[in-house]
Amino acid sequence: MQGGGGRSGFQNAPVTRALIVASGFLTVAIGARGKSRQLGVSFQDLSKNPRVWRIVASALAFQSTPEFLFGLYLLYYFRLFERQIGSNKFSVFILFTGVVSSALEVVALMLLKGSKFNVLASGPYSLIFALFVPFYFDVPITSRFRIFGVNLSDKSFIYLAGLQLLLSSWRRSLVPGICGLIAASLYRLNVFGIRRLKIPGAISSFFSKHFASPSAGPSGPVRRNIAGNFSSDMGRQPQRNHRPATVVPPPEPPEASVETLVSMGFDGNAARQALRQARNDINVATNILLEAHSH
């Protein structure tokens, strides 16, 4: 599995790009002003003198360099889910897990006030650990190996990165981490039919315009908006007559599409075969690969 996603960067992942830019900017800006120690939310902060800037900053900015490095690495790696389900559904996932985990965190702070766990870690911990739920269920293992007699897989390195992030501030990060896992589990169970919801078109257009990365394959430019829809210039020429179309074999899959599927954890040859079967539609190819893995 390629954790870095190859040369495609933030291709088809504008929401992830916006999250990383916001988190990185706030972390650096607050750290440069020497206010990192003021980050983190406790029950007293919420009940006595809530400060909006502190709550917002604590939701995105990391407090220390190790947390910053591991946190942004995991967010960048997990962009594969935005590519897999589309930016619109990924945005719904973020909003749902954010709201649910925040409510659970408030309840936890009320129950744990006065204990060593009464302050939450600063940073998008709940979102990062929420993303471990689809990572566990939906990302296939492509290789296994042994180190010092211990059985490991290519997914083990991501779990170790998450463990390192948790240990960087384990007392403060344990509560948001657990709340994120619960929220993602509820999303997976489709509570209240949440997976059918969509983000309004105006918001979708904003992210597509300001955070989407352009890409081009051999057959012409391929674009993906925040709604998770693919469009291609290929095959858009108007027909000049009504003669029956000749059945032609599917074109060779673009390397960019193959790399996108490989970055999700799929085998390269299987990705090419699925793309040919799906006529180079990445959404359909992803579903084919997931169904094959589930069986």
Q: How many CB atoms lie within 10 A of CB 25?
A: 12
Q: Is the pLDDT of residue 117 over 60?
A: yes
Contact between 277 and 288 under an 8 Å Cβ cutoff? The reply is yes
Q: Which residue carries 């889910």 as its tokens?
A: 81
Measured N-to-C along each axis, helices 65-77 and 14-32 cross at an angle, to the nearest 10 degrees, of 170
Q: Is the pLDDT of residue 182 over 80?
A: yes
Total count of residues recorded for the chain: 295
Q: How many CB atoms lie within 10 A of CB 240?
A: 6
Whether residue 282 is found in the same domain as residue 190: no
Poorest-confidence range of 20-34, 36-50, 98-112, 256-270?
Answer: 36-50
User: Has residue 238 been placed in a domain?
Assistant: no
Tokens of 90: 């990924």
Domain C-terminal end among 152, 170, 196: 196
Whether residue 31 is found in the same domain as residue 163: yes
Whether residue 61 is found in the same domain as residue 174: yes
Whether residue 38 is found in the same domain as residue 161: yes
Q: What is the mean pLDDT of residues 238-246?
A: 49
Distance CA 113, CA 295 (A): 47
CATH number of residue 271's parent domain: 1.10.8.10
Q: Is the pLDDT of residue 185 over 60?
A: yes
The per-residue pLDDT for 8 is 58
Q: Which residue carries 């900017």 as its tokens?
A: 25
Q: Is the pLDDT of residue 258 over 50?
A: yes
Q: In this predicted model, which residue has the larger pLDDT, 262 or 164? A: 164
Domain C-terminal end among 196, 229, 261: 196
CATH number of residue 17's parent domain: 1.20.1540.10
Q: How many CA atoms lie within 13 A of 246 on its CB side?
A: 2
Query: What band does 152 get if pLDDT is binned at 50, 70 and 90?
Result: very high
- For the chain, where are the alpha helices, taking DSSP H only? 14-32, 43-47, 52-60, 65-77, 79-85, 87-112, 125-130, 132-138, 156-168, 170-188, 201-211, 255-263, 268-277, 282-294
Phi, psi at 147, each rounded to 5°:
-130, 120
Three-state DSSP state, 281: coil
User: Could you list the residue range(s) of the whole structural domain that residue 276 is in?
Assistant: 251-295
Q: In this predicted model, which residue has the larger pLDDT, 103 or 233? A: 103
Query: What band does 68 get if pLDDT is binned at 50, 70 and 90?
Result: very high
Q: Is the pLDDT of residue 232 over 90?
A: no
Whether residue 27 is found in the same domain as residue 138: yes
Whether residue 176 is found in the same domain as residue 96: yes
Q: How many CB atoms lie within 10 A of CB 273?
A: 16
Phi, psi at 217, each rounded to 5°:
-110, 180
Q: Per residue in 4-61, pLDDT tens?
A: 444 458 888 899 999 999 999 999 999 898 888 878 788 777 777 667 777 888 899 9
The per-residue pLDDT for 221 is 37
DSSP at 36: G
User: Has residue 208 been placed in a domain?
Assistant: no
The per-residue pLDDT for 67 is 92
Q: Is the pLDDT of residue 85 over 70?
A: yes
Tokens of 84: 């897999």
The per-residue pLDDT for 284 is 77
Whether residue 163 is found in the same domain as residue 280: no
Domain C-terminal end among 165, 196, 227: 196
User: Has residue 217 been placed in a domain?
Assistant: no
User: Has residue 163 been placed in a domain?
Assistant: yes
User: Has residue 113 been placed in a domain?
Assistant: yes
Q: How many CB atoms lie within 10 A of CB 202?
A: 7
Count of structural domains within the chain: 2
- pTM metric for this prediction: 0.70
User: Has residue 241 been placed in a domain?
Assistant: no
